[in-house]
Amino acid sequence: MLLPQASQASRGSGSTGCSLMAPELDTAQGAEMRRGAGAARGRASWCWAMALLWLAAVPGWPAASGVLSRRHWPVPYKRFDSRPKPDPYCQAKYTFCPTGSPIPVMEGDDDIEVFRLQAPVWEFKYGDLLGHLKIMHDAIGFRSTLTGKNYTMEWYELFQLGNCTFPHLRPEMDAPFWCNQGAACFFEGIDDVHWKENGTLVKVATISGNMFNQMAKWVKQDNETGIYYETWNVKASPEKGAETWFDSYDCSQFVLRTFSKLAEFGAEFKNIETNYTRIFLYSGEPTSLGNETSIFGPTGNKTLALAIKRFYYPFKPHLSTKEFLLNLLQIFDAVIVHRQFYLFYNFEYWFLPMKFPFIKITYEEIPLPNKNKTLSGL
């Protein structure tokens, strides 16, 4: 069953994501947590997300040397048998998908219009500021011609972008603690003003009710097995055809997977340009360092454990403005000067030998799929 509709302040456009079938949270406990540490953690995620955008504008640095090959690339995104219940420690400043609803079963002969939806990330907080930088959130809209009802479907982080990108260093725990889940959200209605004012609301296809119902079954399975958000795309260079080490798993990837699946079901898409925001890290070939137990466990590598925690320390929450600026300099020193980045992917830590241009935000065209063909790499 899908979660409730997100309000303007909590939708994916405000947190770079979408939501469907995430586990239910204990309401009383959640409210109590949000009054305390949870709210502070949510505020911190805004700061570090903005820091990422600042780093993306920094000029590049000299290339780092590569490391020995470990496997074929990119590393496949790991799927799971079921979605775990969130740890009570993890709290979002803005409730995830607060008014979502189950995906309805459509009449088989219904004609369902499909819309591409796009708006600036965090529009409710920053207006069109990030839209000028082409940092956009993606979603999908549907309209039943039989009932006239509209629906929105999107996928985003349960605990805001910062918590999905960097961990918490809790004094009582040896290993970094991650508050990272993403899920899909389906709700009735399309906020036309929200999507049209600074973004996109355009019809891309018409499907049958049967296709919609097939899609709904697929979305449930996709949402229950793909449970973690991944901010970064990691490549060897910006050059066309360069090796991809890791793919992101975010709102735009959900839209692309859904469009691809609809094409498999027989949907025919219009021939219109569709662009998506992607955040890239550039590095030499990554090295797998191990998982939480092998690094931070009783017999783990204490030197490596300390290095990873030191790397993540500047990203900690609860910072004053002065602390934030000082820590930003530490991040610059680690990532740019010393060309180091520790990535957490599929519950494993990876070392990235960073190289020019290090980090970049792009707004790339990814065409709509052809009938009965899937998008490569999804």
Positions marked catalytic: 137, 251
Residue 63 near residue 242 (C-beta atoms within 8 A): no
Task: Give, in order, the Cα–Cα distances in Å from 70 to each of 126, 289, 339, 371.
Answer: 42, 11, 20, 36
Residues contacting residue 34 through CB under 8 Å, at least 6 positions apart: 91, 92, 93
First to last CA, the chain: 24
CA-wise closest residue to 182 among 344, 21, 309: 21
- Per the DSSP assignment, residues forming a β-bridge with 184 are 155
How far apart (Å, rounded) are the C-alpha atoms in residues 363 and 285? Answer: 24
Q: Cis ω on the peptide bond leading into residue 176 (within 30° of 0)? A: no
Instruction: Report, in this order, helix, strand and coil percent for the chain, each rounded to 5.
Output: 30, 25, 40
Residue 153: how many other CB atoms lie within 10 Å: 25
Q: What does the block give as tokens for 204? A: 């891309």
Which spans in the chain are helix H? 12-15, 27-35, 37-56, 123-126, 129-132, 160-165, 192-198, 209-225, 251-264, 292-296, 302-312, 321-332
CB of 249 closer than 8 Å to CB of 183? no
Name which of 186, 166, 131 is nearest 18 in CA terms.
186
Residue among 9, 23, 274 at smallest CA distance from 140: 274
Helix/strand/coil (H/E/C) assignment for every residue in 247-290: CCECHHHHHHHHHHHHHHCCCCECCCCCEEEEEEEEECCCEEEE
Q: C-alpha angle with apex 212: 209 to 214, nearest 5 degrees?
A: 115
CB 125 within 8 Å of CB 46: yes
Asked if 209 and 109 count as a contact pair (C-beta separation under 8 A), the reply is yes
